[in-house]
Structure 1
Amino acid sequence: MKIQNAIEEKLSRAFAVNHLQVENESHKHSVPPNSETHFKVTLVSADFDGQMKVKRHQAIYKVLADELAGEVHALALHLYSPQEWSDSGQSVPESPNCMGGSKKDAAMTSGEGQ
């Protein structure tokens, strides 16, 4: 889990973290076992106070530029100010399972995707 650890370290250094959770969701996608290609990041930081979502995302992309230029294919971002996190009930939406690539083909063959 070297990529996940790198993401956690970089975000912890770059932001005033109230809460950070990095989940490897690669197993939900059409990738080999033990892949580190799809991640879900939940980050709560006072750095996001008064900041629009696009600016928050841009800040994350800048910090994780090397990972995004490399093996990371997808990054789901759930970025909150402390007040937004409190208002949300401290929960984030579940990520759907991927239905692309070979998983979509298997669902269509079994009749699930029709």
Structure 2
Amino acid sequence: MEYATRIRQKLTDALAPETLDIADESGRHAGHAGARPEGETHFHVTIVSAAFAGKSRVERQRMVYGLLAQEMAERIHALGLTTLTPDEANR
């Protein structure tokens, strides 16, 4: 299974996001540390979820990193995150 698919499945199952955008930015990092020719090493995830309500930015990021710990250990070198509540996304 592709890593983008795994990311989508895990975040959807755990956080029931209203919006989830996963961008594979690996091509922009060719030649950098952790980059692989086959890609899927550098991602940016934008997620809007009510599960983030009342949590700080760091707590939200820890939630996502915890959910994707296996993928981070296996292949993902860099993961950029934008984590918002529905209220924040609608401002």
Same fold, TM exceeding 0.5? yes
Contact kept, 8 Å, 1:23 with 1:41, in 2: the verdict is yes
> Does the 8 A contact of 1:15 with 1:45 survive in 2?
yes
How far did residue 70 of structure 1 move?
Answer: 1.2
Q: Which runs of 5+ in 1 are unaligned?
A: 88-114
- Considering only CA atoms, is the larger Rg found in Structure 1 or Structure 2? 1
Which residue number corresponds to residue 90 of structure 2? 86
Residue 112 of structure 1: aligned partner: none
Higher relative contact order (CA 8 A, sep 6+): 2
Identity %: 40
Distance 1:14 1:8 in 2: 10
Tell me what 2:55 maps to: 51
List runs of 5+ in structure 2 lacking aligned partners: none
Tell me the secondary structure at the aligned position of residue 20 of structure 1.
strand
CA RMSD of aligned residues (A): 1.2
Q: Which amino acid aligns with 2:11?
A: L
